[in-house]
Each structure stands twice: as C-alpha cells, then as structure tokens.
Chains A and B, each alone.
Chain A
Amino acid sequence: MSTLPQLNLFTVVLIPFIGAALIALAGTHRALREGLSWSSSIVFFLAVMGLLVAFLDGDSASQTVWEIMPGLAIAFRLEPLGMLFAAMSSTLWVLATPYAIGYMNAKGYSNLGRFFACYAIALGAAAGIAFADNLFTLFVFYEILSVSTYPLVAHTGDNKAKQGARTYLALLLATSIGLMLPAMIWVWTATGTLDFADGGILAGQVSPAAGAVLLVLFMYGTGKAALMPFHRWLPAAMVAPTPVSALLHAVAVVKAGVFVVLKIAIYVFGLDYLRELATSDVMLYIAAFTMLAASLVAIRQDNLKARLAYSTVSQLSYIVVGAMLAVQLSAIGGGMHMLMHGFGKITLFFCAGAIYVASGKTKVSEFDGLGRRMPVTFFAFFIGALCVIGLPPTGGIWSKWHLVAGAFDAGHTAIMLAFMLSTLLNIGYLLPPVARAFLRPLPEGERSGFNEAPWMCVIPLALTALGTLVLFAMAQSAFDLLGGMFGPVA
C-alpha cells in the first residue's frame, strides 16, 4: 500500500486553514513564516496525494462533518473531478510557494504574514470546494474563497488595487449570493436535497422551464467561471501581485469556478437532463462567444498580465463549453482542460512575474530581445503557451482534443468551429511575446547578458513547464480518473 498518510477529508481541508493560522501568528518573523508556508503546502500536498493513492485503489471516502439543519450538512466526499482539482491545486501550491516567497521578497512587499495566510486559506477553500459533497458545502467554501482572496488582490494597497479588488469582490459576491444561492434554495425546495449524485438530482423533479432557468442561475451564479458579461473581475484582479494571479487566478479561484460548473452540470443536472434543457444551448453559445470575444480582447492587450487574464477568461469558457455540451467526452475534456490549462497558465503567470522581477517590464511591446537575457523563462513561457493553445508536446492538446470531439459528438459543429478559431486567436496573442523576446534585438542602450529572476522564481516556472510536457505523456491517468465520473470506462 502506501506510506502516505490517510487522513479524513475534513482534516485535509483543514490543513491549509491551520497553516494559515500559524502563518498569521508568525506574522513578521520571516524565517518562521516562510518555513510554515513551505510546510503547510507540503503537508497538504502529501495529504492530498495520500487521498489520491487510496482513491486510485478504489477507496471512496466520504464524511459528514456537521449537520447544520436537517438535510443541510457540511459534508465531503471524494469523487474523480474533485480529486483531480485537489491534486492539481495542491501540486501547484507546492510549486507556487517558493515562487511567491521569491517574488514577494524580491519586490519588497510588506504585510507578508497576512499575504501568506490568505494564500493558504484560499487553497484550503479550494480543497473544500473540491471535496464538497453537496451544494451547500460547496457554496460555503466558494464564498470563503472569494473573501479570502480579496486581501490578496488588494495587497498593493494603492487606489488601483483597491478599485480592482472592489470590482473583484463585488462581482463574485453579487453573482454568488444573487444567483447561485437562490438557485441552490430552489433546488433544495424542488428536490429536498443538495447532495451531489451520479446522474444528477434534478431530472424529473422540476419542470423543464424551471430547469432551464436554474441552469442560467447556476451558470451566471458561478461568477468565478467568468462567463461574459460577468468576466470583468478577472482582469480587475490582475492588480494583485503575480503569485496571486498565478496560483489563484490561473488555478485555484478560476478553476474552482469551472469546477463548480462541471460539478453542477454532472452531479446536479446530470448530462442527460442537461441536454434536454432549453437554455443549455444558449449557455453553450454564450460560453463560445466568451471564448472568442475574450481572445479578441486579449490580442489587443499590451500588458502581459491583462492579456493572460483575458486569455484565462477565454480558456475558462472552454471548460464551460465542455460542461454545456453535456456529453461524456466533453465533460472529461473539460475536466482535463482544468488540469492542463492550470499547469499551462500558471507557467505563463510565473513567467510574467519573473520577467517583471528581473527586468521591470510588464508590456509585451517592451519584451524585445529579453529572451537572450532570460532564456529559461521565455522557453518556459513558450511551452506554457503551447499548452494553453493546445499543441503538442504538451498536455493541452489532449484536453482540446476531447473538447472538440465532444462538440462533434454532441452535434455542435459551430462549437467545433469556435474551438478552431479560438486556437488561432490563442496563437495570435500567446506566441508574439516569445517571438519578440527571442528574435528582436534588445533596445538601444540596454544591458545585454544573462539576467534571470531569482532562482526561487525560475525553478518553479521551469517545473510547471516541465509538468505540461509530462502531462502530454501522462494524460492517460487523468483520463482514467475522470472517466470514473461515468462509471467504469469502456
């Protein structure tokens, strides 16, 4: 068996929270704080891996922590999608920790105790979302995630940061409380349960019209999935320090959003029922529109982080499309894209941050010749970009493959076309930074010579880039895992 610890789910979720409390207490004591950040991420990682090993062996843990009201409980259960999400977040947290430490120290930020504590809480909340066994638990951790990331977004403390953070929180809270909560209550009244169940809980319980409305409520209620027109928070959140943008706005927060979308599509609606709904096509096309429109906006962004943010908006819609296509292939593709895009996009953000740390440059138009000074960073950026675009030899190709195949399977040729167009647009905005950096000469008067960011930043980004390559070959594992959502894979 395994030498890894087998903890119950709630304990695993608690680890980052405990870590956060300790980090907050460590406060300004730098060594202690960093040590705790490291150790909580590693302990969490090991705990999740322990779960993963057991899960792959066929154990399916579930746990009801507390029943708040009859039928309304904080409860956790392991299922494939959540396992994948948790495994991804925990892995990337381990990699993001040194990066965050390196970055925040290099840029001389203060208030780091709060920063790392909130960072940890966000991860804990993500884990809570991943393991949630019912909508209520999911909602609770979803809100914790929104609130805990607010101080991170506003960390810089200037007016722009506050403004961005305000947009961020306002949109996330307004959508979740205004739309998701009522939808949740509606489900509760209609079905008497909020538990996730294979095949969904809504089929036959609500009228088709009500189901259609519920779908819209859920999709827009999940503000973190950044479906247009509720996508503004994501670009606004880019005022955050880059480690936040990287781990949270490429992985934990936004993936939590699409994770919720997938989870609701699969376990609340059920794919079969979802297909019958009048609005599933509407949402599908809205997502497809988001996918393309966000890409078109991204092309025009000179600021690299803004460009990546819009790219994320676009990529998230891939996954929403995957959910709305409502066939197994696309759902699996969506789940895989969650993973692949996570690795790819975090690499890109890591690189954006490393570039900023090493050269102070944030605009793509200023990147000329930088590749010669920062070859590792830009090569990693190249690999990450390939993954996001969905090209070999990175894992991105397999998730895109399944999404497109799902679109065909569902009979939506127009969506296939949208994916194809989106790929082209992705190339249009992700590769120019690399090409510029490697091909154009450095501007007059700039010092040439090797000048990478601190190794604490460079090593993680190299590792995540490597991760996308490994995922190319290892996609089978993710595929098998996700196939478990629909019973044994044929």
Chain B
Amino acid sequence: MTITELMPFSVLVPLIASLVCALLPGRFWPWAVTLVATITSAVIAAITLPAAAQVTLSYAFGNWPPPIGIEYRVDAANAFVALLVAGMAAVALPWAKKSVDREVPERQGAFYALFLLALSGLLGITLSGDAFNIFVFLEISSLATYGLIAHGSDRRALLASFRYLIMGTVGATFLLIGIGFLYVMTGTLNLADLAERLPEVRDTSTVRAALAFIIVGMGLKLAMLPLHLWLPNAYTYAPSFVTVFLAGTATKVALYVMLRFVFTVFAPDWSFVVLPLSTVLMILAVAGMFAGSWVAMFQPNIKRMLAYSSVAQVGYMVLGVSLVSIVGLTAAFLHLFNHALMKTALFMAVGTVIYQVGSGHLKDFRGLGRTMPWTLTAFALAGLSIIGVPLTAGFVSKWYLIQAALDQGQWFLVVLILITSLMAIVYIWRVIEAAWFQERPGNQPAAGEAPLALLIPTWVLVALNFYFGIDTRLTVGGATAAAEALLGGGMAP
C-alpha cells in the first residue's frame, strides 16, 4: 500500500467509524472507537505530510480518472491542514472523555458519531481535489457541527446552533453557487482542471461573480468580520469539547478552502486584480483584529472572550493572506497552525475549569489560582502564546506576519499588530488576575485541582505551544511549503 493509497483513509476511517459509533451504547465504547479512529486518521495525515511536501499526491476514487471520478489531491498545503485537523482532534479526544461525560451524559454514541462525521467532513474538504466534493464534505461537517453544538447543556445552545445552521447554510450555498458558476463556464469540477480551463473564460463576469460568492461563503464559515456573528454564541454554548475541537479546526479548514480557490483555482495574479481582494481582506482583517480583541477585553464569559479572540486571530490569518506574498502566506499558515495550538489549549483550560466549577464566568475564576494551579498555569502559559511572547508559538507566527508586512512596507500594520497584542495582554490578564489576585468568595464552591485526564492533554498542548515556539523547523517548514504550494504557480501536475 503506497502512501497515495493510504491517504484517503484518513477521511474514510472516521467516516466508517462514525457508523459504528452511532450504534454503540454506553459511555466508554463510543469514545474508545472515536479515539482509535481519530488517532489512525492523524497518523495517516502525519505520514502523508512529508510525502506531499515532496510531490503532489493524487488518488482517484474507484480508479475513475480525474475529470470523471473524484480525485483526492494532496500537496503540502492541504497535507499541512489535514495534519493539523486530525492532530488536534487526536489530542482533544483524551481530554474529551471526562468533559463529555459531564456535559453530554446521554446518547454519547450519537454525539461521537457526529464528531467523527464532522472530522471526516473537515478532512474531506481538505484533501479533496474536486470542487463539488468539497461542498459535499462541507455540508457533512457543517451538519454534524450543528448537531454537536446543539448538545450544549445551556438552552441557548439550541438557538446558537440554529443561527449557525442558517448562516452556515448560507455560506455553503454561496460556495455552491460559486462552484456552479464555474462548472457552467468550464464544464469541470476538478480543481486542477478548473485551474487549467479558467484562463480562457476568466474575463467574464460570471467567473468574477463565482469568486465573489466563494469568498463570501467561505468568509462566513471562516468567521471573518463582519461575517463572524454566528461564532461567539456557537463557541460559547457548545459543549466544551466541541468548542475545543471547533476552535482548532473548523475555521482553519474554511480558510484553507478560500485560499485554495483564490490562489490555485483562480491564479493570485488574477483574483487579486479582478477584485480589490487585497484591500478588502486587509481592511476586514484589521477590523477583525481590532473588533475581536476589543470586545474580548470586556467579556465576562471566558469562553465567549476566547471566541472573540478567535475572531481577532482569524484577522491575523486573513491579514497574512491579504499581503499576497510567500512570507505573508507562510505567516497565515503558521498562525493557522499555531492558533489552533494555543486556542485549543486555552479552551481546554477553560473547559477544565467548567468541569470543576461548573461555570466559565470571570467571576467564577476568582481565587482559582490557588486551588487549581496546574489548570490556571496552563491557561496563563497558553495565554502567553496568544499574546505572542517570545519562545511561544504565537511569537513565531506574529514574527512572520510582521516580516510580511514590513516586506510590503506596511508599517502601520506592524503597529496595529502590536496594539492588538497589547489588547491580548489585557484580556488574558483579566483571567490571571482573577485567578491569582482575588480571593475566592465564600459562597463559591471550593474547587480542587482537575483530574489528570483533563490536565495531561491540556499540558501537552501547552508544551507544544512552547515546543513550536522554540523548534520551528516543522511549522515554518510546513507553512513555507504550503505557501509555496499555493503560490507556486497553481496545482502542479
């Protein structure tokens, strides 16, 4: 079995496992199956990446050659994202057991089945080389995600899920419209073929409209300001585990899709010319960075605060994209990866607190530094990463982002990045201060340290934040390869 043949299994394994899972009763087995499936998937993704960095892998389902059959086509960019998605899922799952037991006590089989569906959907989007297939997987993952969010114990979770459903569907529809336009114009759905045939027809308004629809559609899924409005509630009211998983994966995949279309299907020298994309994205990115950080500074609910922080962090990624350079894209991919690390760690820490205390409100964090030192220290350290302190992963991606901005002579962007970093200090600081420098009110339940099952995965991620802040070979190498794959003249055959 070659790597090329192995590669599709990272999508198929979770897909098949979800069917099994849906039928399994109890609390242990669904989780165990999910864990095994996810780890398998992650291992496959990990094996794929080095190979994909060398040459583009292509696998045609059912041996139908590409234009007719469905092709999986993997280069450095999607291998990188796939590894991220599968990897984050694999790290999150050991953490999930306790948390899910607490927050979703019943019908866990269905819950984990949804999770696996979402995972395989995300991986499918990533690996697929076929536009329509991307839409299909998008719908799979989205629908599963709506279900997952709806599992939140808070009644508002239902409403949040419903809103996300509406907006998600709008986004997916836009994508579908865009793809439809392209199909009408070129007669193919295969991304490589699209890239090949589009130059002939790209001066038509239909193609331009297709690009616009795809960008707005993916912008919605990506939660790019001002299309982010679904995100805070969805993250806030979803079960902690779902938030942890989504924060690290869903928006990243949406970004990937957007990049895939903008950079490889339409060539960047076209898409950034025909639409004022660079300007629009830059404005929206900066606005997102600011608005997200700004609002985060005032949020009393920590999950919600982190959700807004995500909006800001998405801004950083989009900013990198808007610079249209190898360094900029590298920064975007780096941040895509690093942000997943840090935000997952943060959500895990908050989830752990919720597990122990039952609430994610700032006021319930008071005095926790003494009683839950490991959890809160993990939060603080991951917070350092999101601030962008040197030796953390966050620093590396910000460094590249600033480099990219400077390469373009955009001084003011550097200033803006630093200002938003300072804002990050503020919102992280609020938690630290509450945890260590305020007394625990007498009427609050005394909380002890969390179980190791929650702590270990959290700390693994925290450690990864520092590891990738010091040893940047994998991340910078992967991100650079991904950026080059996207910018390096379309899909190489």
Contacts and interface: CB of A to CB of B under 8 A. Distances in A.
B382 to A, nearest CB: 15
A459 interface: no
Interface stretch (A136-144, A335-343, A364-372, A417-425): A136-144
A346 B425 CA distance: 32
Given A69-B472, A162-B437, A177 B418 contact: yes
Interface in A118-142: 136, 139-140
Contacts of A66: 470-471
Contacts of A68: 391, 396, 469-472
Given A143-B390, A177-B421, A178-B422, A69 B470 contact: no
Contact of B389 (A74, A136, A143, A157): A143
Contact of A69 (B399, B415, B425): B399
B257 to A, nearest CB: 28
Interface residues of A, number: 22
| Residue with the greatest number of chain A CB neighbours at <10 A, chosen from B387, B403, B421, B437 | B437
B414 interface: yes
A173 B425 contact: yes
Nearest to A159: B437
Given A140-B391, A143-B390, A189 B406 contact: yes
A177 B398 CA distance: 12
B402 interface: yes
A50 interface: no
A181 interface: yes
Q: Which of B390, B396, B402, B425 has the most CB of A within 10 A?
A: B390
A140 B367 CA distance: 29
Q: Which of A74, A166, A173, A177 has the most CB of B within 10 A?
A: A177
Interface in B365-395: 387, 389-391
Interface string B40-80: 00000000000000000000000000000000000000000
Interface in A1-31: none
A177 B425 contact: yes
A332 B173 CA distance: 70
A166 B407 CA distance: 36
B476 interface: yes
A278 interface: no
B398 to A, nearest CB: 9
Nearest to B438: A162
Contacts of A136: 390
Interface string A152-170: 0010010000100010000
Nearest to A174: B422
Contacts of A54: none
- List the 7 closest A-B pairs by CB distance, nearest first: A140-B390, A189-B406, A162-B437, A185-B402, A69-B472, A68-B472, A182-B418
28 contacts: A66-B470, A68-B396, A68-B469, A68-B470, A68-B472, A69-B396, A69-B472, A72-B399, A74-B470, A136-B390, A139-B390, A140-B390, A140-B391, A143-B389, A154-B437, A162-B433, A162-B437, A173-B422, A173-B425, A174-B425, A177-B387, A177-B421, A177-B422, A177-B425, A178-B419, A178-B422, A182-B414, A186-B406
Given A69-B396, A162-B433, 16 more contacts: A66-B470, A68-B469, A68-B471, A68-B472, A69-B472, A74-B470, A140-B391, A143-B389, A154-B437, A162-B437, A166-B433, A173-B422, A177-B418, A178-B419, A185-B406, A189-B403
Interface of B: 387, 389-391, 396, 399, 402-403, 406-407, 414-415, 418-419, 421-422, 425, 433, 437, 469-472, 476
